[in-house]
Amino acid sequence: MKLATIRSGSPDGRLAVVSDDLRLAVDATDVAGSMREAIERWADVEPELRAIAARLESGQAPGAFHFEQEQCAAPLPRAFQWCDGSAFLHHGRLMERAFNVEPIPESDSIPLMYQGAGDDFIGPREDVYLPDETHGIDFEGEFGVIVDEVPMGVSAQEALKKIRLVVQINDWSLRALGPREMRSGFGFLQAKPSTSFAPVAVTPDSLGEGWQNGRVCMHLNIDWNGEHFGRPFGGEMHFHFGELIAHAARTRRLSPGTIIGSGTVSNESGDLGSACIAERRVIEIIDSGAAKTSFMRFGDTVRMEARPAAASKTEHGPFGVIEQRVVAAVYGNPNGAQV
Amino acid sequence: MKLATIRSGSPDGRLAVVSDDLRLAVDATDVAGSMREAIERWADVEPELRAIAARLESGQAPGAFHFEQEQCAAPLPRAFQWCDGSAFLHHGRLMERAFNVEPIPESDSIPLMYQGAGDDFIGPREDVYLPDETHGIDFEGEFGVIVDEVPMGVSAQEALKKIRLVVQINDWSLRALGPREMRSGFGFLQAKPSTSFAPVAVTPDSLGEGWQNGRVCMHLNIDWNGEHFGRPFGGEMHFHFGELIAHAARTRRLSPGTIIGSGTVSNESGDLGSACIAERRVIEIIDSGAAKTSFMRFGDTVRMEARPAAASKTEHGPFGVIEQRVVAAVYGNPNGAQV
């Protein structure tokens, strides 16, 4: 089953069921007003939502309309909790070299994870307002899961059963602000502005071969300003999502609608490229002694689309497409947007 | 004006207006169903809520009932954003000695702040379920503000105008888990379980002399297992709340209902005691070479109540009282609670 949130006047938007080929959608607000409400009442609403999805696939859904990814907010436009891991260890090791910090002890046995800001997620085609090019504007392509309520102390295997939806994420990062916040020990705050999401959230069963062992086994295709940047493979996650959830729930329960991220997709072999500029820059430094690639400039665009390992060129990725432009924010306006 | 959230079957509870002496309350769900809704529609609802408060003070509020702090959830039982500063520099300097870490550069000009978990706050009289005494269970008494929407790049002075409510907080901390998470650079996650709040949220104007220069100028009285522990003074904050809000909003807007915390109240002069055990332990180490005070044990209680600087012994603190017991969690139950 595929779900999306259509933008509306309300902060949580309107829930829609989306067809498997992302061409059609049906309003589902009779079942649950919003994605957030659906996640909070999942056991109640899932059968009805799946019934709508089945009617949509069989061409018998009244009120079906053309699904426009441009109309979408993030699947959860806001969440009470967003925790982002760093489960691709190769990325972490490269970043340690980039930031010139000591290797983190036990990073292959205890997941790294930061608490992110969930109050104001960015839709897949919305402009991204940021205040300063000198902050080192970078994208980070990754995957995430939206969970049901998770009890404190859950095991990694039990945690896998709490995954309701899988999502695709662009975790915007301001690289010039990161090192200071890391050195403080308090973690990322200004270095992690609002996060973007692809339009469609997918139940694990609907990903088929793309969901194995608690990992998204798909390539994440990334274009920067229309040029291919990388297509790393999500199946190489060291910790699976159940392990990440269990880490987050060790000393507290997680409320339904908590989003857990994988961290930047990254592969040991560099053949498939990277999912963020910082990683490419570190590889350049290692290879040639200096970074050649600059961070993003205002007006730049990034496009991200996850695709099955063996997909044809024409097949849509299950999460739809993130395609965004970075724009200079004007201080004093509500979201920094120019008026 | 004083507001509270009465526990109900719903995650956000029911909004109530509370009398200045905390003896009476009136249900306000006709105006806004919940505190969260009130904050999100503040300009619309504030006049009506203030009218109810005025009627309550004049003894003419239909439906007034005895206000029971025991019935309260946290003022916001969940929030889309919770960012906690460390604005009492004395505490930070002591903690650096405790964790044996390098002083953080510029900590007197750039606030320290971590992104916290807002999905599951604990009410003022609820038991606090935690998994393990060896985690170094500690309380942290502090103050916080709940803000309206804040634009990206807001100035510290403009940010002060966005403060809608002031709250009193117990920021539970697991000290044994903190150093590893700080060293990782990713910040606190397991070391900061769910946070507790006093029952009453107060508009700044209703704090009188207790709110000056963007700071809560009150003593925070703390008892541990019925014995006096400390009564440090909140007015000694190095950064005022406007500066903390501006720090959080430097690279993104803040959505309405964001909570910004002061960090543990702490004074240069040790005469008034501390607001957390960790600080007392560091002082013991400095004074005598060894920590004498242990962290909390299961069954321990902590009581926190802010009181005006010149309050009589009988006067209530404006935020009401946090009084909680720490209980061993049982893994596998929803909130770790024993069943």
Mean pLDDT confidence for B117-146: 97
pLDDT in the model for residue B147:
98
pLDDT in the model for residue A259:
98
pLDDT in the model for residue B313:
59
Which ipTM did the prediction report? 0.96
A140: nearest Cα among A179, A194, A101, A186 = A194
Mean pLDDT confidence for A193-205: 98
Asked if residues A117 and A81 have their Cβ atoms less than 8 Å apart, the reply is no
Percent of chain A at pLDDT exceeding 70: 95
Q: Which residue of A has its CA nearest to B129?
A: A252
Mean pLDDT confidence for B75-79: 98
pLDDT in the model for residue B38:
98
Residues in B touching A181 (Cβ below 8 Å): 185, 187
Classify burial at B30, counting beta carbons within 10 Å of its beta carbon; exposed 0-12, middle 13-18, buried 19 or more: exposed
Identify the band that residue A338 occupies on the pLDDT scale cut at 50, 70 and 90.
very low
Question: Do residue B188 and residue A251 have CB atoms under 8 angstroms apart?
Answer: no
Identify the band that residue A314 occupies on the pLDDT scale cut at 50, 70 and 90.
low
Classify burial at B183, counting beta carbons within 10 Å of its beta carbon; exposed 0-12, middle 13-18, buried 19 or more: middle
**Residue B338 pLDDT greater than 50, yes or no:** no
Percent of chain B at pLDDT exceeding 90: 86
Mean pLDDT confidence for B60-81: 97
Identify the band that residue A332 occupies on the pLDDT scale cut at 50, 70 and 90.
low
Residues in A touching B188 (Cβ below 8 Å): 115, 186-187
Mean pLDDT of chain B: 94
**Residue A254 pLDDT greater than 90, yes or no:** yes
User: Looking at chain B from residue 12 to 71, which residues have their Cβ under 8 Å from any Cβ of chain A?
Assistant: 40
Q: Which residue of A has its CA nearest to B12?
A: A80
Rounded to the nearest angstrom, the minimum Cα separation between B149 and chain A is 8
Report pLDDT digits (tens) over A221-230: 999 999 999 9
CB pairs under 8 A between A and B: 197
Min mean pLDDT across A195-199, B87-91, B238-242, B334-338 is at B334-338
Min mean pLDDT across A13-22, A89-98, B32-41 is at A89-98
Identify the band that residue A311 occupies on the pLDDT scale cut at 50, 70 and 90.
low
Question: Do residue A152 and residue B335 have CB atoms under 8 angstroms apart?
Answer: yes
Report pLDDT digits (tens) over A158-185: 999 999 999 999 999 999 999 999 989 9
Question: Do residue B185 and residue A187 have CB atoms under 8 angstroms apart?
Answer: yes
Percent of chain A at pLDDT exceeding 90: 87
Of residues A193 and A314, more confidence is placed in: A193
pLDDT in the model for residue A283:
93
Residues in B touching A190 (Cβ below 8 Å): 247, 250-251
Mean pLDDT confidence for A226-253: 97
Report pLDDT digits (tens) over B230-262: 999 999 999 999 999 999 999 999 999 999 999
Rounded to the nearest angstrom, the minimum Cα separation between A96 and chain B is 10
Identify the band that residue B107 occupies on the pLDDT scale cut at 50, 70 and 90.
confident
Question: Do residue A151 and residue B101 have CB atoms under 8 angstroms apart?
Answer: no
Question: Do residue B79 and residue A83 have CB atoms under 8 angstroms apart?
Answer: no
B188: nearest Cα among A185, A127, A135, A163 = A185
Of residues B126 and B335, more confidence is placed in: B126
Q: What Rg do the C-alpha atoms of chain A give, in angstroms?
A: 19
Say how far apart CA B304 and CA B321 lie, in whole Å.
6
**Residue A334 pLDDT greater than 70, yes or no:** no
**Residue B157 pLDDT greater than 80, yes or no:** yes
**What DSSP string describes B174-199?**
ETTTHHHHHHHSS--STTS---EE-S
Question: Do residue B104 and residue A255 have CB atoms under 8 angstroms apart?
Answer: no
Query: Is residue A270 less than 8 Å (CB to CB) from chain B?
Result: no
* For testing contact with chain A, the best of B97, B162, B189 (most A CBs within 10 A): B189
Question: Do residue B115 and residue A112 have CB atoms under 8 angstroms apart?
Answer: no
pLDDT in the model for residue A102:
77
**Residue B333 pLDDT greater than 50, yes or no:** yes
Residues in B touching A336 (Cβ below 8 Å): 151-153, 252-253
Question: Do residue B334 and residue A119 have CB atoms under 8 angstroms apart?
Answer: no
Say how far apart CA A104 and CA A112 lie, in whole Å.
9
Identify the band that residue A330 occupies on the pLDDT scale cut at 50, 70 and 90.
confident
Question: Do residue A188 and residue B186 have CB atoms under 8 angstroms apart?
Answer: yes
**Residue A191 pLDDT greater than 50, yes or no:** yes
Min mean pLDDT across A118-127, A251-260, B92-101 is at B92-101
Query: Is residue B292 less than 8 Å (CB to CB) from chain A?
Result: no
**Given B79, B152, B188, which is nearest A335 (Cβ)?**
B152
Buried b (16+ CB within 10 A) or exposed e, B32-51: bbbbbbbbbebeebbeebee
State how far Cα B262 lies from the chain centre.
8
Report pLDDT digits (tens) over A58-78: 999 999 999 999 999 999 999
Beta strand A2-6 with A14-18 is: antiparallel
